[in-house]
Structure 1
Amino acid sequence: MAGPVIRKSALSEGLISGSVGLVSRVAIQLCLLAVTLTATRYLAISQFGIYSVASALMFLCRNLFYVGPYEYLLKTPPFPGLKGACLKANLGLAVAASVPLLVFVSISEYIFGSRDLPFVLIRLVPALLLSAMTAWYEAVLLRDLAIRRYYLFTVIGELFGAIVAIAFFYYGFELRSLIAQTYTRLGILLLLYVLSTRVEGWRNGSVADVRKVLDWSLSRFSAVFLNFSANYGADFILGIVLSPVATGLYRASNRIVSSISDLFAQPLQKIVQTNLSARSSRGLRPDHSWIAMLTAVASIGWAALLGLAVSAKQVVLFILGPAWEKAAPVIVVFCAARALSLIDAATTSLLVCCDRQKFMLKVQTTVAVLVPVTSLGLSVAIPHSSELAPTVVAIAYLAIMSALTLAYAQEAARLSSASARDVLVGMLFSVIPGLFVTLALIVLEMSQFGRSLEQRLFVAYALVVSIIALVFGLIVIRRRLLSSIHSLGYARLAGEDA
């Protein structure tokens, strides 16, 4: 049977879009990973727990700017007040989000038993206005399909932020490094946007327009809080019930795995979101392309996560040091959980484009309640061991997120008229390269040669073996992969043709 006919311009566009997204995300994640690893070296595990809580709260507030008005601006057919209304909505959100954050600052010392958390948070509140502006500019760029400029600016901002943070850690500023990183990154990013992007209509937007944007966004704002509870509820429960040490182990493990998974999940989400939003703005229904986009990215992303899971202990000892050895089993569990996030990256973008926020809200509400409640129950059940608790809580988190992923995938398949077979076949092809990597690493670890290697050499050999195995796995699925890469550029080219 002949393979799919692939239009060269679409294949080229898909390769460029996918490659730019992946390369830029690699650079961004390397910056974030460098800061995280530096923090683990210069902060005690308890301080890293405080650092993680402060970062999580800022993440919650910033995420408000990346849903609602952000998504509304991406998907809505143009009208005179669109951009201005979305900007005003974001700025209003920044002011509104500052109030509860300041209230939390006043009581955080009593909750976590540390003065470091309020010290950091009070200095980060003004950064919310900068986040609101940069999020709006990002939506403007993506609406115009200026994806490469968006990635370039994001890399530059993250790079400068990472350099400043590492320098501050080195010179003994400890938790102040988070403050310096935040303002440097946002300041550089906003400057680049202002100097290079001319936006028409940013002063427009009546009160009625803003209200319309916010009314549409309410369920998405609820989703942010629910996602926060799902993704960070365990961190807070561990820190409150047990200690910041437990939070530090849990969050450090999560961040290491996320530094791998986000290399793929974030570009995938932007590609699916941009492509499907382009179809939606032209009045077209979603097609099966989200499955192909998932296959193109997950075939590499899942291989990376499987490789990390197999060699987790060696990686932890090499990167974090012996003091963090208990993080290894937590990393293995999070590798499975973050593998699901690649599926979610594709399905959530489709669901938002199809205005399925209410359905998502129901699922997210269930998950948001289950994660902290389950974490609380498990933390109380095993208070004698804060080292064991993060692993047990991570396993419970994996089980809950598996149910969420399944619910989203079923609804996305229904909306795009994809059969269960279409979805399963796409995922089957995606996991094949990862099986090659897993087998290669197991053989290396079990061999006499692998056992004789010292830690650094083993990690180096494992990396080389993984790359070779990945290449063989990609060759096996090459026809399916080429067809999937073609889909990365399809919607953009379709929009240009229209």
Structure 2
Amino acid sequence: MNPAKFKTVQSLKNRLQSLMARQHSLVSDGMFTMIAKGTSQLVQLLIFILGARVLTSAEFGFFAFTSAFVVMLIVLAEGGWGEFLMKSHGTEADYDQAATTAMISGLIVSTLALAGALAMGSWFGDMLHLEILVISSALIFVCALSTIYDGILVARGRLKDQAKIRIVSELVGLAVVAAGLWSGWNIIALFAGRLAAQVASLGCSMLAVLWLPKIRLTRPFLREILGFSRHILANRLIVFLRSYSATLAVGSFLGLAEAGYYRAAERIVASISELLAEPARMLGWVVFRKARDRHPQDIAGGNARIAAAANSFVVLFVAIAAPFYLGLSLASGALINFVLGDAWMPAAIVVSILAIRQLLLIPAAIIEPLLSMVGELKRLPPIALMNGGISIALIVALAPFGLIPLALGQVVVGAFWLGTMIWLQQRHGGLDWVRIARRCGPTLAALGAMLLADFALNYITLPASLPNALTTGFQVAGGAIAYIAVLAVLHKLVVTSAEPLVQQRNS
């Protein structure tokens, strides 16, 4: 063989092996992240069951209300510092300054929470609530510092290590909650479990990174990180308000029972959404960062490489996530009956409708890492604020008419949100949504096959002695087989039809 040709073939072989290794690494990281997220969801479900068996409804209501307040303070304390490190090149000086910023913000917010706790305790003489808020103030500071270590792990592409740490910390939290409830701590056990989980996460992350921050902060860095933070923070606060406004509106107009149904439906759909969207968001940071840094000297071409990676990423994520949401919509009744019992069946139709909303929101999972990497994150908060305002307005307008109109209104919001996300990604992120839509054709056809399979299986008469869970499992398996088979066949046809074009272009 000609030495030049041999060299070219060897180079192509090496590049192919490198590409396959990168893809295998990404799949492995994504699987670990999904396992960690699944563990988190399972642990939260177990904590909910344990708490519901031990606490009174008033105690559990106080836990939910206080938790919402604490989550808002944690969002303020975390400030997007970890995301700043995910997008930056991350020198040790940057790590020190970001950690210093996180400790200052955590200390400020924790101090304010502690002052409020002391004022409440002295005013009402309620030491139980005082203890809970003291634990929560400590939790806020630990979360603010933990986000720095999360950012470092993601920036270094160590998603597998991050997932392992999350699994360990969640199990530590569950153990503390179970032990606390067994020992009679009651509601304090739930807050102590959260704190224990976060402390375990911080400790394990420190051991994984092998780095301790030095107190260091310069004005130029502070201006830069605060400028980045305000966009992340605005988006997170809008998401927070959207997450809790429906429950408050339903409780105000329809009563606490309906609010419970709606919150349960939201929680079930959110569990699936977090299981899918969180790995996609983390992988998005890694994939887009690698695309940008593939040729560090070619700064101008960085955004084009990010857009090319994002085009493929969206198509793949739609193919993975869409059947989960459609399956949830179809099997909501069986799922509610199995997990919560017959008393919660009014939530089933709400789950089906909200699952369709999340199906529309699949492309929104990567909007934050995409716009951050191309330097256009400032475009997101105004759009998110507009979408959040429309969502809250529809919630307030439709809540008096019942749960189903309210949920259908959220589907309308999801469709509008999808349109704005497509516009942002195409105009400021460089995505080609005409091409993405064309490449998603096989996925849409496979979803149609999944839907037809479910309808066909409904007409098959199964023995009445079979448990409902087994019958539902049979239908779910049939739909999954139909989806995978049609997607595989159409994907092969698309690849086969494209080969002549590729050969002609290469020639």
Q: Which residue of 2 aligns with 1:420?
A: 433
SS at match of 1:247: helix
- TM-score, normalised with respect to structure 1: 0.82
Name the structure 2 match of 1:398. Answer: 411
Find the counterpart in structure 1 of residue 258 from structure 2: 246
Query: Are residues 1:366 and 2:386 paired?
Result: yes
Unpaired stretches in structure 1, ≥5 consecutive residues: 110-114, 383-387, 484-498
Amino acid at match of 2:169: G
Q: Which residue in 2 is equivalent to 1:91?
A: 103
Change (3 A) 1:146 1:360: same
Structure 1 residue aligned with 2:501: none
Q: Rate the CA distance shift 1:28–1:434 in 2: closer, same or farther, 3 A.
A: farther
Q: Distance in 1 between matches of 2:359 and 2:197?
A: 28
Would you say 1:298 and 2:318 are equivalent positions? yes
**d(CA) in 2 for partners of 1:416, 1:184:** 39
Q: CA deviation at 1:201?
A: 5.8
1:322 and 2:332 correspond: no
Map 1:225-244; keep pairs closer than 5 Å: 225-244=237-256
Alignment match, 2:478: 465
Contact in 1 for aligned 2:87/2:289 (Cα 8 Å):
yes
Which structure 2 segments of 5+ residues have no match? 1-15, 122-126, 497-507
Matches within 5 A, 1:236-385: 236-280=248-292, 282=296, 283=299, 284-285=302-303, 286-379=306-399, 381-382=400-401
Deviation of 1:271 after TM superposition, in Å, equals 0.7
1:440 is aligned to: 453
* Residue range with higher mean Cα deviation, 247-256 or 135-144: 247-256
| Cα distance in 2, alignment partners of residues 465 and 28 from structure 1 | 28
SS in 2 for 1:12: helix
User: CA 1:9/1:189 → structure 2, altered by over 3 Å: closer, same or farther?
Assistant: same
Maintained 8 Å contact 2:276/2:321? yes
Whether contact under 8 Å (2:99, 2:213) holds in the other structure is: no
191-200 or 300-309: which moved more?
191-200
The verdict on how the C-alpha distance between 1:24 and 1:437 changes in structure 2, with shifts beyond 3 A counting, is: farther
Structure 2 distance, partners of 1:63, 1:444, is: 45
- Residue 242 of structure 1 and its aligned partner are, at CA, apart by 4.6
Distance 1:66-1:355 versus aligned 2 partners, 3 A rule: farther
Cα deviation for residue 53 of structure 1 reads 3.5
When residues 359 and 311 of structure 1 are mapped into structure 2, their CA distance, relative to the original with a 3 A threshold, is same
Give the CA deviation at 1:54.
Answer: 3.4
Which SS does the other structure have where 1:204 is aligned?
coil
Cα deviation, residue 241, structure 1: 4.8
- Post-superposition shift, 1:416? 4.4
- Give the Å deviation of 1:46: 6.8
Deviation at 1:252, TM superposition (A): 1.5
Task: Name the count of aligned residue pairs.
Answer: 468
Superposition pairs for residues 14-53 of structure 1, below 5 Å?
Answer: 14-39=26-51, 50-53=62-65
Shift in Å at residue 439 of structure 1?
A: 2.9
* Map of 2:67 onto structure 1: 55
SS of 2:408 mapped into structure 1: helix
State the distance in 2 between where 1:105 and 1:242 align. 32
Instruction: Output the amino acid matched with 1:267.
Output: P
Q: Percent identity?
A: 18
Cα deviation code 1:152-177 (max 9, x no counterpart): 11111122223443555677755434
For 1:480 and 1:47, the matched residues in 2 are separated by 58
For the Cα contact (< 8 Å) 1:268–1:294, is it kept in 2? no
Bigger CA drift: 196-205 or 362-371? 196-205
1:72 aligns with 2:92: no
Give the residue type in structure 1 aligned to 2:146.
T
Contact map agreement 1:49 1:251 (CA 8 A) in 2: no
Quote how far apart the aligned CAs of 1:324 are: 0.9
Whole-Å separation in 2 of the counterparts to 1:17 and 1:446: 41
Spell out, residue by residue over 1:49-102, the C-alpha distance to the aligned partner (whole angstroms, 9 max, x if none): 554443333333333455532222122234563112211222222234346656
Q: Does structure 1 residue 144 correspond to structure 2 residue 156?
A: yes
Instruction: Quote the Cα distance in structure 1 between the aligned partners of 2:229 and 2:494.
Output: 36
Q: Judge which range, 307-316 or 70-79, deviates more.
A: 70-79
Q: Distance in 2 between matches of 1:446 and 1:124?
A: 53
Seen in structure 2, the aligned counterparts of structure 1 residues 143 and 102 have a Cα distance that, compared at 3 Å, is same
Classify 1:199/1:99 alpha carbon distance in 2 versus 1 (closer, same or farther; 3 Å).
closer
Partners of 1:481 and 1:63 in 2: CA distance = 44
Q: Aligned partner of 2:155: which letter?
A: R
CA deviation string 1:388-414 (max 9, x = no partner): 33x333322232232122212222123
Q: Aligned partners of 1:35, 1:85: CA distance in 2, in Å?
A: 36
Does structure 2 conserve the Cα–Cα contact (< 8 Å) formed by 1:65 and 1:135? no
Query: Is the alpha carbon distance of 1:75 and 1:301 closer, same or farther for their aligned partners in structure 2, counting shifts above 3 Å?
Result: same
TM-score (ref. length: structure 2): 0.81
CA 1:461/1:439 → structure 2, altered by over 3 Å: closer, same or farther? Answer: same
Question: 1:367·1:400 contact (CA, 8 Å) conserved in 2?
Answer: yes
1:43 Cα offset (Å): 5.9
Q: 2:488 aligns with which of 452, 475, 480?
A: 475
Deviation at 1:16?
Answer: 2.2
Larger Rg computed on CA atoms:
2
**Per the alignment, do residues 222 and 118 of structure 1 end up closer, same or farther by CA in structure 2, a change over 3 Å counting?**
farther
CA shift, 1:269, in A, is: 0.5
